[in-house]
Amino acid sequence: MPRDGADRPSSPGPDTPEKVVAAAVSEPSFDALELLGPSLSEVLTFVNPPQPRRLQEAQQDATNGGESTAEDNQSHHGSSSSSLAATTDASAKFDLRLSRSAVLGKLADPSADNACKTQEYFAKLLSRIQCEATGLVLLHDATVVIFLETTAEHFLILLKQLQHQRIIEASSMKVLASCDDHGVRILQGLYFKKITLNRSDAGEWTDDSAPQCVVETFLSLIKFLKKIGPMPPAEIRKCLTNLSNTDQTFLPSNDLVLWLLSRDELMTLDEYLDVFDSPVAVELESERVWPVHPLIHY
């Protein structure tokens, strides 16, 4: 919304200090939270608004006579850095009400082959509930980090299912962060990676820094995913198999996950579902002011 001339900074005069001039003409920087999704400028550049994935698939099926190709149904499987989802065309990335969320938890049996078990569990789960979820599952020696991209409704369904599995301690699981209303998926598959990070940054974790640590952990994870997202599936698996030192700095360590799980600032699965799996009553300010509620009801 344009402002009038009184709000605009005046032109610098000859006696204006150089530092003041630089501050007056500089533009404010964006908040770091803009990394959670596309900026407004990117959205406004769409001449033809992107269509939902299902509409695009329906149009493609109609164009191709309803014949599906082997490439559309290809699933990625492999070692500890494999993936579970179909390889889709780059033009079919738009989803309505897409949610990006991260969940933490402790492994029930650290000595078991949890990477294989977790991959098999999600493959059967997503097939059973017919949910299209993409993202990354990181398995440490004792903890797990689950980053999911799906609709808000499907995310709630997945949380309910996670409460009944036995690979991860359901009572220990907490929601690190969640943000809604994204139109573009970062990844086009669900990838799994068993990692070991030899990094000690416990000195940076304090009670006062806990909220900021949660935000930075979530944003760092998204930065890493946006780095590997444009890569072909084979390159993504290769990158996950051989993580560089720079890539490892974006991922939370096992000790950090354990520390975050001990924080009361994070919601458990039960707490999250109690808040977001039930209708939320809202009242507009105008409804409380006008019309005026009668003092006497006849």
**Predicted model pTM:** 0.66
Distance, in Å, from the CA atom of 254 to the CA atom of 195, rounded to the nearest integer, reads 9
Quick: pLDDT tens for 63-94: 665 444 333 433 333 334 555 544 334 334 44
Model confidence at 112, pLDDT cuts 50, 70, 90, reads confident
What distance lies between CA 93 and its chain's CA centroid? Answer: 15
- Which domains does the chain show, CATH number per domain? 76-276 (3.30.70.100)
- Calculate what percentage of the chain has a pLDDT beyond 90: 45
294 — phi, psi (to 5°)?
Answer: -65, 145
Contacts of residue 287, Cβ cutoff 8 Å, sequence gap at least 6? none
Model confidence at 287, pLDDT cuts 50, 70, 90, reads low
**Residue pair 118/173 in contact by the 8 Å Cβ criterion:** no
289's tokens: 């002011």
CA 146, 151, 156, 157 torsion: positive or negative?
Answer: negative
Extract the runs of DSSP E, i.e. beta strands, from the chain: 94-106, 134-139, 143-151, 174-184, 190-194, 267-268
